Amino acid sequence: MTTIEKIKNQLAENPILLYMKGSPKLPNCGFSAQAVQILSACGVPFSYVDILQNPDIRAELPKFAVWPTFPQLWVDGELIGGCDILNELYRTGALQPLVDKAADKHRPQQAETVQ
């Protein structure tokens, strides 16, 4: 599997995905820490990829995304942006409905009770 195929699979399998330096519990840069704080404040589950542990993704994702920096937030396979954009979207209230919609769409459907 190529790195681009791996990235496409990650995006397809994770409705809210943050490519970041480090992990949500131990971010390795201030921008990644801010992105985690913003997503945590939204109260929706999200996945992450530590690009420091995945040098192939760190090298290829900026070309694939046409976005040179990290972190990168992807929602439903679409690039939302980096830390500054997340801050702005959160501040204006535009981020919450975006992530809520993605989270709701991908929550396991509860089985209906048939009587």
CATH of the domain at 70: 3.40.30.10
Q: How far apart, in whole angstroms, are the C-alpha atoms of residue 23 and residue 6?
A: 19
Q: What are 2's two structure tokens? A: 């190529």
Binding-site members for glutathione are: 21, 58, 70, 83-84
The domain tally of the chain equals 1
pTM above 0.85, yes or no: yes
> 111 lies in a domain?
no
In a domain, 113, yes or no: no
> pLDDT tens digits, residue range 49-108?
999 999 999 999 999 999 999 999 999 999 999 999 999 999 999 999 999 999 988 765
Annotated binding site for [2Fe-2S] cluster: 29
Q: How far apart are CA 99 and CA 61, in angstroms?
A: 21
Give the domain extent around 52: 3-106
Judge whether 112 lies within some domain.
no
